[in-house]
Amino acid sequence: YTQGEYFFIKKEAMNTVRRLGSTKGLQDDENITSRGLEIIDNTAVKERETRIKKAVGTVLRKQRSLTEESLDDSSTSGSPGRPLTDFEAMAEIAKEYREVSSSAELTAIKKAHLDQKEAEEYLEDVRSQLKKNARRNNGPRKTLARLFRWKKSV
């Protein structure tokens, strides 16, 4: 990129960050995305903190429950006094945590699929442009140079 292009990219990125911080946000503009900037989006930060607190709370409650069960002589889930590091206890904690964290995982998978779709559409557009311009020009190298503004090295 040229110095001017870097300046423009930085300016647009700063505008996006400012819009994220405003009450208006980015919901009304389909050409601008907050993808990758979630850490500075107040709404996304609050949602993330809520998910983390819920997950930690779930794990701590399950640990407390298992500890109380293991200390209770009338417990039906194994021998009394069994330490919490027992494989079965850890499996129960993992199961509880998984139930809480699965929504975040699903959201990440959905975003990954959207990213994949956008990348495939972009690649298809580039291929289409290459084919169309290759016919007009003297081959794909000049077409690539024009598409990406690459300087031909001699």
pLDDT digits (tens, 9 = 90+) for 89-121: 788 888 888 888 888 888 889 989 998 998 899
Asked if 84 contacts 66 with a C-beta cutoff of 8 angstroms, the reply is: yes
Phi, psi of 30 (to 5 degrees): -80, -10
> Using CA atoms, how far apart are residues 133 and 126, in angstroms rounded to an integer?
10
Structure tokens at 63: 């640990």
- What global pTM score does this model have? 0.50
Say which amino acid occupies 151: K
pLDDT over 80 at 48, yes or no = yes
